[in-house]
Amino acid sequence: MSARVTVLGAGVAGLAAALELARAGAEVEVLEVGMQPGGEAASRFAGGMLAPWCECVSAEPLVAELGRQALDWWPRQYPGTVRNGTLVLAAARDAGELEAFAQRSDNYRRLDADGVAALEPELAGRFRQGLFFADEAHLDPRAALAALVARLQPLGVAIHYGVDASKVPGDGRTVLDCRGYAARDRLPELRGVRGEMLLLHSDDVQFARPIRLLHPRGMHYLVPRGGGDYMLGGSMLESDDAGATSARSVMELLNAAYALHPALAEARILELGHGLRPAFPDNLPRLEQRDGRWHLNGLFRHGYLLAPALAQQAAVRLLEAA
């Protein structure tokens, strides 16, 4: 008899885990409190950058180690994954930030002004130097979630929307809780790290890859979504406030866009969004069993990067325990 697993949450962690479990032979169902993949959780408002070498600048080595698996996993599940690398830039006055970034990472190529312009012609004459991480990739999070749902259908995995996944009947099924920050009712040490984003549309500039702009207060990034759409993000607030995006955050994001290229001042704002990213005190993900329930959580700001490796681990451990 195959293992019977109920996955709580249809965000990127839950859908990836459901896919790996079903492919390993488990009978799987997914419960989601929202009415669409990802609900209104962090998965829908992510940058979608698969950037293990960039992320190792501020994360533990484990994040880069696990994250590299995503570069092979995502193109197999979502053909829209784009592997054009990542460009990291800083204004001339912030050259020290770029050098510090370089010292904490690897697998990049240094660029002079001509090298930056060769990669992104729109930036010709705007930046004197940059770092190019050629092996990194990016994807559209919402399209990627839809692709995972499509992969689950022929495997017989039912996704039930509008279900309070915190109340699961005891019917003998193994429960894998992937609810992100919503799982704090069972994981009290979990905290929310608020991220805010703008979805922009511009016909005046064309960028082929994610661009990270460094400055003394941190970093902002612009990620192509296709068709002239761009996701602009980079805020990271230690807060569990789920309220609307603040005017301060919008101004900081738009200032970063203008610093990257003045033409973005004329971009249209299509959407404001925010999400609470789940993090444990050490900012590392966990797959653990507690009080009769498995938990896959704490992916922090690395959801799309870490979900594949954690999903594969979950499939192995749950089936071994079944």
CATH code at position 166: 3.50.50.60
With 90 as the cut, is the pLDDT of residue 240 above it?
Answer: no
Instruction: Determine, yes or no, domain membership for 62.
Output: no
**What is the rounded CA–CA span in Å between residue 108 and residue 231?**
23
* Residue type at 158 in one-letter notation: A
Task: Give the 3-state secondary structure percentages of the chain, helix then strand then coil, rounded to 5.
Answer: 35, 30, 35
Q: Are 101 and 34 within one domain?
A: no
Structure tokens at 130: 């940059």
CATH code at position 262: 3.30.9.10
Instruction: Determine, yes or no, domain membership for 55.
Output: no
Q: Are 39 and 153 within one domain?
A: yes
Domain of residue 247 covers 86-134+192-279
**What is the rounded CA–CA span in Å between residue 194 and residue 276?**
4
Instruction: Determine, yes or no, domain membership for 100.
Output: yes
Average pLDDT over residues 127-147: 97
* Percent of the chain predicted with pLDDT > 90: 86
Beta-bridge partners for 159: 30
With 80 as the cut, is the pLDDT of residue 85 above it?
Answer: yes
Q: Are 286 and 177 within one domain?
A: yes
Structure tokens at 158: 């039912």
pLDDT for 20: 98
With 70 as the cut, is the pLDDT of residue 116 above it?
Answer: yes
**What is the rounded CA–CA span in Å between residue 315 and residue 105?**
31
Q: Are 154 and 231 within one domain?
A: no
User: Please, are residues 50 and 304 in contact by the beta-carbon 8 Å criterion?
Assistant: yes
User: Please, are residues 198 and 232 in contact by the beta-carbon 8 Å criterion?
Assistant: yes
Residue 172: pLDDT band (50, 70, 90) is: confident
pLDDT for 165: 73
Strand order in the sheet with 109-112: 109-112, 129-133, 86-90, 211-215, 218-226, 229-233, 191-201, 268-279
Give the number of domains in the chain.
Answer: 2
With 80 as the cut, is the pLDDT of residue 41 above it?
Answer: no
Q: In this predicted model, which residue has the larger pLDDT, 71 or 243?
A: 71
pLDDT for 188: 97
The answer to whether the predicted template modeling score (pTM) of the entire model surpasses 0.85 is: yes
Q: Are 201 and 267 within one domain?
A: yes
Structure tokens at 217: 């207060």
Q: Are 114 and 124 within one domain?
A: yes
With 60 as the cut, is the pLDDT of residue 122 above it?
Answer: yes
With 90 as the cut, is the pLDDT of residue 227 above it?
Answer: yes
Q: Are 100 and 18 within one domain?
A: no
Average pLDDT over residues 194-215: 96
